[in-house]
């Protein structure tokens, strides 16, 4: 097992610019190489993969209400889950020290130092992210701002069954939307009334659609009409 630091592969939240996207997301690259034999396919273990769904959210209504919604929807794009630094450190230590002797280049003490450094980096990154709450408006459609997760749920951590149940019930998804962008060419569709307009967002979600969250948001903004459509990426 090769240990990888999160700061080696994950961009700091303060360094993730939001850029407009086209109406259609780019196609995923096709796999290369020879197709495995049927026997190999049958003997290969099943892999747990997420099905990513791309969505268009289009909102129509009076221009003033649209402008107010667009401003209210902006936020840092951060969910302030409580993290357990002690548990993280212990997990990394066990993963590092349990590697076979021939593959482990660290002593037991070195594994403990690695685990502590890992924990400190994660806690520092979380602290930087939390500092952006109430300040940053980098995310144009922030569900945590529009349908906030209660503090009692945040304190459980994002993997807790009760937290996952709350997300499924109130958001319709158990992971936040990814790659949220404003669609610059949302288009009004049919001709709009005078003083009316349209705004659009595009984003990915894992496995399910955030219909529950959109329903709640629509109830809170009765002057606006919300349309959520999954878009094929094939």
- The answer to whether 153 touches 163, Cβ cutoff 8 Å, is yes
- pLDDT at position 73 is 97
Among 97, 132, 167, give the residue marking a domain's end.
132
Among 98, 115, 132, give the residue marking a domain's end.
132
Higher pLDDT, 222 or 95: 222
169 and 232 in a single domain? The answer is yes
> Do the domain assignments include residue 12?
no
What digits encode the pLDDT tens for the residues 148-181?
999 999 999 888 999 999 999 999 999 999 999 9
Q: What is the mean pLDDT of residues 15-25?
A: 40
114 and 149 in a single domain? The answer is no
Number of domain units in the chain: 2
> Do the domain assignments include residue 36?
no
Give the pTM.
0.68
- pLDDT at position 42 is 34
> Do the domain assignments include residue 124?
yes
> Do the domain assignments include residue 8?
no
User: 201: domain range?
Assistant: 48-80+135-234
Q: Is the pLDDT of residue 46 over 50?
A: no
Q: Is the pLDDT of residue 184 over 80?
A: yes
> Do the domain assignments include residue 101?
yes
Residues 218, 223, 227: CA angle, nearest 5 degrees:
45
Q: State which H helix or E strand residue 61 sits in.
A: strand 52-62
97 and 204 in a single domain? The answer is no
- pLDDT at position 234 is 62
Highest-confidence segment of 94-103, 111-120, 208-217, 224-233: 208-217
The mean predicted confidence, pLDDT, of the chain is 80
In order, the DSSP letters of 11-58 are --GGG-------SSPPPPPPP-SPPPPHHHHHHSPPP----EEEEEEE
121 and 55 in a single domain? The answer is no
Helix/strand/coil percent split, the chain, to 5 = 40, 15, 45
Task: Report helix, strand or coil for 16.
Answer: coil
What digits encode the pLDDT tens for the residues 91-145?
889 988 888 867 788 888 988 999 898 888 888 888 777 778 877 889 999 999 9
173 and 228 in a single domain? The answer is yes
Among 100, 132, 164, give the residue marking a domain's end.
132
Residue 32 corresponds to which tokens in the numbers above?
A: 């290369």
pLDDT confidence tier of residue 20, bands split at 50, 70 and 90: very low
149 and 86 in a single domain? The answer is no
Of 3-7, 68-72, 77-81, 96-100, the least confident: 3-7
Is the Cα dihedral 130, 132, 138, 144 positive or negative?
positive
90 and 165 in a single domain? The answer is no
Residue 203 corresponds to which tokens in the numbers above?
A: 């984003």
In terms of Cα–Cα distance, which of 188, 191, 229, 199 is closest to 211? 229
100 and 186 in a single domain? The answer is no
Report the percentage of the chain scoring pLDDT > 90: 44
188 and 126 in a single domain? The answer is no
124 and 55 in a single domain? The answer is no
Q: State which H helix or E strand residue 112 sits in.
A: helix 108-131
In terms of Cα–Cα distance, which of 147, 142, 137, 149 is closest to 203? 142
Beta bridge pairs of residue 139: 75
- pLDDT at position 190 is 64
> Do the domain assignments include residue 13?
no
């Amino acid at each position: 097992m090769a240990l990888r630091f999160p700061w080696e592969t994950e961009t700091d939240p303060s360094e993730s610019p939001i850029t407009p996207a086209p109406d259609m997301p780019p196609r995923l690259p096709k796999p290369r190489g020879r197709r495995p034999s049927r026997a190999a396919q049958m003997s290969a273990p099943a892999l747990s993969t997420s099905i990513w769904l791309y969505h268009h959210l289009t909102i129509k209504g009076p221009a003033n209400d649209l402008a107010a919604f667009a401003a209210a929807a902006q936020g840092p794009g951060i969910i302030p889950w409580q993290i357990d630094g002690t548990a993280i450190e212990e997990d990394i230590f066990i993963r590092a020290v349990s590697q076979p002797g021939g593959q482990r280049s660290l002593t037991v003490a070195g594994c403990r130092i690695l685990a502590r450094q890992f924990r400190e980096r994660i806690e520092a990154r979380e602290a930087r992210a939390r500092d952006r709450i109430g300040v940053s408006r980098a995310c144009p459609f922030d569900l945590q701002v529009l349908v906030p997760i209660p503090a009692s749920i945040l304190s459980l951590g994002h993997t807790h069954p009760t937290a996952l149940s709350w997300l499924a019930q109130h958001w319709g998804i158990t992971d936040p939307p990814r790659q949220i962008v404003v669609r610059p060419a949302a288009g009004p569709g049919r001709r709009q009334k005078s003083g009316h307009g349209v705004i659009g967002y595009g984003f990915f979600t894992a496995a399910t659609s955030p219909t529950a969250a959109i329903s709640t948001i629509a109830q809170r903004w009765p002057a606006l009409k919300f349309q959520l459509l999954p878009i094929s990426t094939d």
